Structure 1
Amino acid sequence: MTKNYEFTHRRKNLLNGEWVLVSPHRNNRPWLGATEAPTESLNHNYDATCPLCPGNTRANSETNPNYDFTHVFINDFGALTPTLADDSKIDDDNLFEAEAATGEARVICFSREHNKTLPELSINEIAQVVATWKSQFVDLSSRYSCIHIFENKGEMMGCSQPHPHGQIWAHNHRSSEIQSEDERQATYFDKHQRGLLEVYIEKEQIEKQRIVIENKHWLVVVPYWAKWPFETLLLCKDDVQTMAQLDDAQARSLAEILQELTIRYDNVFNCSFPYSMGWHNAPLDLSDAKHWRLHAHFYPPLLRSSSVKKHMVGYEMLAESQRDLTAETAAKILREVPTVHYKN
């Protein structure tokens, strides 16, 4: 039975405990706010000035190899470094709490072609990206317990280089989001002896209203608690806790669903759809990770068109998140757009 959510209400995020205010009636208000230039796709597959293109020299004077598929290198301006200076010292203070943080930051070029984002790559090319994510995770997991694989797509999301790429940051401290998700999944498992996201997948498959795409191994939904207009949650349907556990079939299936999801995004407003996305793996310092399920979050900012962005301001910054478009309506829009890229 289809549920009606067209009234003002709040929804709770099962993974971090935060609430979002949903106000569907606000979709009828006139828009007089600011617009931003849409993220446009590039026309050329090589840029001599791009530090990520094959054969070009980066800011640190290192030259990229003439790579064919993906290319990984240490971030020239990484937010994390493996070691600290000898004189690094943090004061021990009851009010001003801090701790030292070390780690590694890497850049992952998705393709040699300067103008091809994920939705414009073939499934085989996206499979190379997935394989790189996995190999990098395995390598870094020998030294770090918390590994974040993510992508910022488009200038609207602060991406400084147009060449399609992602990043991977690894460290031994628990990031705040991973800590929250671990606590809530562990609490749910202790109470029900089943994984929170395992049960959530089953609930979404019953209701169907928020499902965007589903294949044998993966499910994409606009999560019940979504705060961004076209936010999605990509869930592994199998009992998998980290990227390192993916077998060949799961990895191939992931490449297929990533291509379809990102094509659907581009087709919503016929533009190169900006977003921030990232994988949440179980932290590797757990004695038992059975309460975890591998998943990725996609947070796109576009609201009404390729140039109108959702801003988290005012109430969102000072109280809690708020959205106008219900998750069910957003999922319906994503389901109904074509699966052939608008450029084709």
Structure 2
Amino acid sequence: MAEDRLNQVPHRRYNILTGEWVLVSPHRTKRPWQGKQEKLPALDKPSYDKECYLCPGNHRASGQTNPDYKDVFSFANDFSALLPDTPKEVYNEGLLLGKSETGICKVVCFSPDHSLTLPLMEVTAIEKVVSLWQKEYTELGARTDIGHVQIFENKGAIMGCSNPHPHGQIWAQGSVPREVESKTVHQGEYWEENQRSLLGDYLEQELQLRERIVAENGHFVALVPYWAVWPYEVMIVPRRHHPDIAQMRGEEKRDFAGMIKIVTTKYDNLFGTSFPYSSGIHQRPTDGEEHAGWHFHMSFYPPLLRSATVKKFMVGYEMFASPQRDITAEQAARTLAQLPTEHYSKMDGH
């Protein structure tokens, strides 16, 4: 199928990292919706909220008191989904199988300022967040009872975020989750056959085609993956083959922080709102294996489709058959690439 036909007829696209397919129906929406229709309230959260469980010096629901932290701050989740001392047990009754799972869950407050989301933070401040991610990944991953460390953020109430103070989470667990397992297999097979990174070769092709590139700097590229499922899905990929974030140093780390700020700022600028999303860093498991083929990347899955209040839900066909999208990856990338990197709240008229 010719490249230009991909934006005209229904077709499926293959995800090289997971082996899954997505149905694309570009004839339903010839072009992405441009601009917002609703005017939402300004970004007017206070820098400190005495009722917030995550602000410096405040009491959390557990009764513990946050220190008067000045930068990024992490602590063990008071309501962890995983517990380190869960007894090892197996339930196997006929066709029913269950296994206990151990792990550690942590909360990462990006800033002491209650009002600062990532796009509103300085790059130097985001770099401190990256440094803490590296520290947590290294220390948690070094434990013999931890096989995988998942770093992620749910931004916005519609993404299930229970506290408005900008923060992310880290879940470290004994087993390797299904999504990461799939990516481990596909990247590992490609590495064994070619002695090259699957994602590195994919990035090289994307840079040649330049149809889905959103932004780039010295060490990182942000793009809408060819197989994207969410309307404005973006993936940040390092130019160098790094299996995990602990490998970054100096300028690379600053460029990673800078790219996070660029992507999240473009998101906010798309519809003039604090753009909700789930983001996560996928990197090699910490199960003691080398996983030489792993090429770390950060993905953003945002639900907004046509405006600040019109969302994309995974329903119907997508729940029972396969993911599906109307706006093509190429259309979404063009829209995002054209947006300014200065936050809309700092522009004239706001």
Whole-angstrom distance in 2 between the partners of 1:261 and 1:202:
20
1:124 corresponds to:
124
Find the partner of 1:71 among 73, 79, 86: 73
The 5-angstrom pairing of residues 136-175 of structure 1 reads 136-143=136-143, 144-175=146-177
1:5 corresponds to:
6
Cα deviation code 1:111-143 (max 9, x no counterpart): 011111000000111111111111111111121
2:252 corresponds to:
250
SS at match of 2:214: strand
Find the partner of 2:321 among 302, 311, 319: 319
SS at match of 1:313: coil
How far has the Cα of 1:179 moved from its partner?
Answer: 0.3
More off after superposition, 320-329 vs 2-11: 2-11
Cα deviation code 1:172-224 (max 9, x no counterpart): 20111110000111112222222110110101001100010111111111000
1:266 touches 1:341 (CA, 8 Å); kept in 2? yes
CA distance 1:185–1:110, change in 2 (3 Å): same
2:141 touches 2:149 (CA, 8 Å); kept in 1? yes
Percent of paired sites with the same residue: 45
Whole-angstrom distance in 1 between the partners of 2:39 and 2:93:
46
Whole-angstrom distance in 1 between the partners of 2:153 and 2:135:
17
1:17 corresponds to:
19
How far has the Cα of 1:91 moved from its partner?
Answer: 2.2
1:134 corresponds to:
134
1:262 corresponds to:
264
1:215 touches 1:257 (CA, 8 Å); kept in 2? yes
1:217 touches 1:254 (CA, 8 Å); kept in 2? yes
Whole-angstrom distance in 1 between the partners of 2:39 and 2:55:
25
Structure 1: 4+ residue segments shifted above 6 A: 35-40
2:55 corresponds to:
53
How far has the Cα of 1:322 moved from its partner?
Answer: 0.5
Cα deviation code 1:49-80 (max 9, x no counterpart): 00000000001110001111111110011100
How far has the Cα of 1:17 moved from its partner?
Answer: 1.0
1:108 corresponds to:
108
Long gaps (5+) in structure 2: none
AA aligned to 1:329 is Q
AA aligned to 1:188 is Y
More off after superposition, 305-314 vs 90-99: 90-99
AA aligned to 2:180 is I
SS at match of 1:278: strand
How far has the Cα of 1:27 moved from its partner?
Answer: 1.6
CA distance 1:10–1:128, change in 2 (3 Å): same
Long gaps (5+) in structure 1: none
2:184 touches 2:291 (CA, 8 Å); kept in 1? no
How far has the Cα of 1:4 moved from its partner?
Answer: 4.5
CA distance 1:227–1:40, change in 2 (3 Å): farther
2:211 corresponds to:
209
Whole-angstrom distance in 2 between the partners of 1:39 and 1:9:
39
CA distance 1:155–1:191, change in 2 (3 Å): same
What value does the CA root-mean-square deviation take over the aligned residues? 2.1
The 5-angstrom pairing of residues 81-92 of structure 1 reads 81-84=83-86, 89-92=89-92
Cα deviation code 1:31-61 (max 9, x no counterpart): 9xxx999797443111110000000000111
Count of residues in Structure 1 that have an aligned counterpart in Structure 2: 338
1:36 touches 1:309 (CA, 8 Å); kept in 2? no
1:197 corresponds to:
199
SS at match of 2:183: helix
Whole-angstrom distance in 1 between the partners of 2:199 and 2:151:
20
